[in-house]
Amino acid sequence: MRISFAYDKRQVMQALRYHFISRLEIRLLIIAVNVFAIGSVVLYSLKQVTPFAFLLSSCLWLVLMIAIWWFLPWMIYRQTRAFQHHFEMGFSSIGFELNHEGKGNAWTWESLERWKETPFFFHLYFDPRSFWLVPKEALSDEDRVQLRQWLNEFVPGRSK
111-135 tens-digit pLDDT: 999 999 999 999 999 998 899 999 9
Q: pTM above 0.85?
A: no
pLDDT in the model for residue 34: 87
Point out the domain boundary residue: 20, 55, 79. 79
Same domain for 24 and 74? yes
Q: How many structural domains comprise the chain?
A: 2
Same domain for 90 and 154? yes
Same domain for 74 and 92? no
pLDDT in the model for residue 49: 87
Instruction: Residue 36: give the domain boundaries.
Output: 9-79
Same domain for 62 and 98? no
Contacts with 55 (C-beta within 8 Å, 6 or more apart), sequence order: none
pLDDT in the model for residue 156: 76
For residue 107, give the CATH number of its domain.
2.30.29.30
> Strand locations in 75-146, DSSP E?
86-91, 95-100, 103-108, 114-117, 121-125, 131-135
23-66 tens-digit pLDDT: 999 999 889 988 888 898 899 999 998 888 888 888 888 998 89
**Residue 16's pLDDT band (cuts 50, 70, 90):** very high
Point out the domain boundary residue: 79, 98, 125. 79
pLDDT above 60: residue 160: no
**Residue 158's pLDDT band (cuts 50, 70, 90):** low
DSSP character string of 10-61: HHHHHHHHHHHHHSHHHHHHHHHHHHHHHHHHHHHHTT-S-HHHHHHHHHHH
Output phi, psi for 155, to 5 deg: -95, 130
Point out the domain boundary residue: 60, 79, 98. 79
Same domain for 44 and 29? yes
Q: Average pLDDT over the chain, rounded to whole?
A: 91
Same domain for 125 and 139? yes
